[in-house]
A and B are shown apart, each in its own frame.
Chain A
């Protein structure tokens, strides 16, 4: 049993996936309100849009528009449900294979170019 402050301890925390890969930070936390019963944490979000949304909505829209235009991922932020949280320590370990998710959309998109340069695999 331990308590965590969502704003202080969880938001902006480093995320590590199933394979030990640094997959981003907790860019947003979504709380769902129910008509009957107490609110609950629905999911954690990872992505440029939820991150930039915290500073300016316009910036977030611009980032999403750029990603759509270039065909980077599906444009949706990655959502991590509370059930997928494995361990909370210096990092937040989650049961996700990040390389297949939208958290790695830009990484996959850029890799296509990076790979073609000699020495990229050395």
Chain B
């Protein structure tokens, strides 16, 4: 049972990677516009995320350093300052979008405007962080997150064409709208591979007191956890391809996406969709606010930990409190969460190489990893996906901006 509970870290990390506002909407858009053709992008992002999570768990278990602390120690503050500032900006954007996502979920079931929910939801997230213990948050959120398996069950219930699905795992250019296709591929990578997941996973491994004995478990947890989130994302894409694409419905907001589950589940569809969206975004919001506090504290060498009393790590608590207050503002002002996510996703793909490159160097340093250094496969996979993603982003994002 204890071993089983360790899975919580993998599942909660993958919720923030795959079942939050950005990933759900990009998968739905991808399916609605291009059928099964973008399944490969989710698969590529998943493989990369499994490798990155496994590595950061290994760094924490063997080197006893969370990622942010190790980067400062190995590369110095002058190098770290840039990725650190980039990550603080990105995390705050993502946090704003996730707060918005929870509010949208509540709007879908109650009909009350998004802005009504911003303050109570932000307060709820803060309260969870203020009072919650790390293990309670990780296990509670991952258990609740299982509701999103409705997308997987739903896609199977719709009896999809399995050969069509299989062919979606081979990248191929569509006959129409190659530009949007490229942008969606970048968005899928950007929505899934958020740097905060990697930091969060390594901090979580230290909160859960992993040691070298947990290295095998770490592999399973990273693989199974991300596999769970990835299957949900693919479920969303498949349902959108089956339900929305034939009718030519484009996903422009959550009004269209909310229809996804009504085809397989009838009147239960909407509440199920809202529950999955709400819980996914809540999980991601808790995770990203914690991550901000982790990254700032670990880079500065302060006491940190969700299990300390707030009075014993006042700076740690201040960081997430300020971040939540700041992130709530744009949603209160009426900025659409999806707009914020789009910006965050494009930024993510561009800054990712600057965050992953020092990470790879650390993972090959015997000073931190002893005998558990990276093999060439791990290094190659990560470099390849990140490099390809950044190249794609460099081409597609400016073109998209120029093209309006």
A residues sitting closer than 8 Å to B (CB atoms) are: 7, 11-15, 21-25, 27, 51, 54-55, 90, 106-107, 110-111, 113-115, 117, 119-122
Specify which chain A residues have a CB less than 8 angstroms from the CB of B131 in the assembled complex.
Answer: 119, 122
Whether A24 lies near B300 (C-beta < 8 A) is yes
B202 to chain A, nearest CB (A): 15
- Contact check, B81 vs A90: say whether CB atoms are below 8 A apart: no
Flag if B318 contacts A110 (CB, 8 Å): yes
Instruction: List 6 A-B pairs, minimum CB-CB distance, nearest first.
Output: A25-B301, A110-B314, A111-B314, A114-B314, A24-B301, A120-B310
- Report whether A54 and B315 are in contact in the complex, using a CB–CB cutoff of 8 Å: no
The distance from the CB of B319 to the nearest CB of chain A, in whole angstroms, is 10
Q: Are the C-beta atoms of A119 and B310 separated by less than 8 Å? A: yes
Residues of A contacting B310 in the complex (Cβ-Cβ under 8 angstroms) = 114, 117, 119-121
CA distance A121 to B285 in the complex (A): 24
Name the segment of B3-11, B71-79, B270-278 touching the other chain: B71-79
B58 CB within 8 Å of chain A: no
Confirm or deny: B303 has a beta carbon within 8 angstroms of a beta carbon on chain A: yes
Bound CA span A7–B77, Å: 11
Cβ of A51 and Cβ of B77 under 8 Å apart? yes
With A14-B301, A110-B318, A114-B318 known as contacts, the answer to whether A121 contacts B311 (CB < 8 A) is yes
Q: Which residues of A contact B81 (CB under 8 A)?
A: 55
Chain B 114-154 interface 0/1 with A at a Cβ cutoff of 8 Å (1 = within): 00000000000000001100000000000000000000000
B72 & A25 in contact (Cβ 8 Å cutoff):
yes
The yes or no answer to B99 lying at the interface (CB within 8 A) is: no
Contacts of B78 in A (CB 8 A): 54-55
**A113–B300 CA distance with the chains assembled, in angstroms:** 21
B64 part of interface (Cβ distance < 8 Å): yes
A119 & B76 in contact (Cβ 8 Å cutoff): no
Cβ–Cβ < 8 Å partners of B317 in chain A: 114
A24 to B77 CA separation, bound complex (whole angstroms): 13
**B16 CB to nearest chain A CB (Å):** 25
| Residues in A neighbouring B72, C-beta threshold 8 A | 12, 25
Q: Are B315 and A107 in contact (CB under 8 A)?
A: yes
Interface pairs (8), CB distance under 8 Å: A7-B76, A12-B73, A25-B73, A90-B64, A110-B315, A111-B311, A114-B311, A114-B318
**Quick one: which of B277-321 are within 8 Å of A by CB?**
300-304, 309-311, 313-315, 317-318
Q: Classify chain B: how many residues form its interface, as a range.
A: 20 to 34
Q: Once the chains are docked, how many angstroms separate the CA of A51 from the CA of B302? A: 14
Q: Mark B211-225, 1 if CB is under 8 A from A, else 0.
A: 000000000000000
> When the two chains form the complex, which single residue of B73, B76, B313, B315 contacts A14, counting CB atoms closer than 8 Å?
B73
- Residue B69 lies at the interface, judged by CB distance under 8 Å to chain A: yes
Q: 1/0 per position for B2-36, CB-CB distance to A under 8 A?
A: 00000000000000000000000000000000000
Given contacts A55-B81, A121-B309, 8 further A-B contacts (CB under 8 A): A90-B64, A90-B65, A111-B314, A114-B311, A114-B314, A119-B310, A120-B310, A122-B309
A59, B130: Cα distance in complex, Å: 31
Asked if B301 contacts A107 (CB within 8 A), the reply is no
Choose from B65, B77, B304 the contact partner of A12 (Cβ within 8 Å).
B77
Chain A residues contacting B73 (CB-CB under 8 Å) are: 12-14, 25
| Alpha-carbon distance A119/B64, docked complex (angstroms) | 30
Chain A nearest CB from B17 CB (Å) reads 29
Minimal beta-carbon separation of B325 from chain A (angstroms): 14
A12 proximity list for chain B (CB < 8 A): 72-73, 76-77
* Chain A contacts for B315, CB-based, 8 A: 106-107, 110
How far apart are the CA atoms of A14 and B64 in the complex, in Å? Answer: 12
Q: A119's contact among B69, B130, B301, B303, by CB below 8 Å, is which?
A: B130
Residues of A within 8 A of B318 (CB): 110, 114
The answer on a CB contact under 8 Å between B303 and A21 is yes
- Bound state CA distance, A114 and B130, in angstroms? 11
Task: Decide if B69 touches A115 in the complex (CB within 8 Å).
Answer: no
B311 touches A25 (CB 8 A): no
Please determine whether B309 and A14 come into contact, CB atoms closer than 8 angstroms. no
A27 to B282, CA, bound (A): 36
Residues of B within 8 A of A117 (CB): 130, 310
- Residues in B neighbouring A106, C-beta threshold 8 A: 315
Q: How far is the CB of A59 from chain B (nearest CB, A)?
A: 10
List the B residue with the shortest CB-CB distance to A90.
B64
Return the chain B residue nearest A109 by Cβ. B314
Specify which chain B residues have a CB less than 8 angstroms from the CB of A55 in the assembled complex: 77-78, 81
**Complexed CA–CA distance, A14 and B301 (Å):** 6
- Residue contact B309 to A120, C-beta cutoff 8 Å: yes
Q: How far is the CB of B333 from chain A (nearest CB, A)?
A: 26
Q: What residues of chain B lie closer than 8 Å to A110, measured between beta carbons?
A: 314-315, 318
Contact between B302 and A22, CB atoms less than 8 A apart: yes
**Chain A residues with CB under 8 A of B130:** 117, 119
Most buried by A among B131, B301, B310, B313: B301
Q: List A contacts of B76 (CB < 8 A).
A: 7, 11-12
